[in-house]
Amino acid sequence: MFCPKCGTLSFPSPSGDISCTNYKCGYNGPANLKTKINGKEVDLSKATSSTKAETRVYEVIKDSDKMQGVLTTNTYMCPKCDCIEVFAYLEQTRSSDEPETRMLTCKDCNHGWREY
């Protein structure tokens, strides 16, 4: 509700009276509960509101099975199977003044390791 005198946002009591929060205005009294909406006079004392929770559909994405990063060839070698085709990407794992961590995943055996 807004103060009918100065327009400051005010919260009505259960009885419908408002106390203006603006110390310069100091209005205490009934709120102007009638207003015109689209040319019709509406009594706001009968207005209701509800907080209906909407349901959401969540999709769980399991990306551990998926290769991540850019496929590189002859740049890195898998320590487990000696494959030279490796997916690589950079990730900031520590504070911003530290360098990124290079995350690596083997294309053949899916072995993952990191370089600092």
Local confidence band at 23 (pLDDT 50, 70, 90 cut-offs): confident
Query: Residues 40, 76: one domain?
Result: no
Domain count, the chain: 2
In a domain, 2, yes or no: yes
Q: Is 41 in the same domain as 74?
A: no
Among 94, 93, 87, 92, CA closest to 65: 87
Q: The tokens 């259960």 sit on which residue? A: 14
Task: Note the pLDDT of residue 69.
Answer: 80
Return the pLDDT at 63. Answer: 60
Per-residue model confidence as pLDDT tens digits over 56-114: 777 776 665 565 788 888 889 998 998 899 999 888 888 888 888 888 998 888 888 88
In a domain, 52, yes or no: no
Distance of CA 91 to the CA centre of its chain: 22
Domain that holds residue 97: 70-115
Beta-bridge partners for 36: 41
pLDDT of residue 35: 60
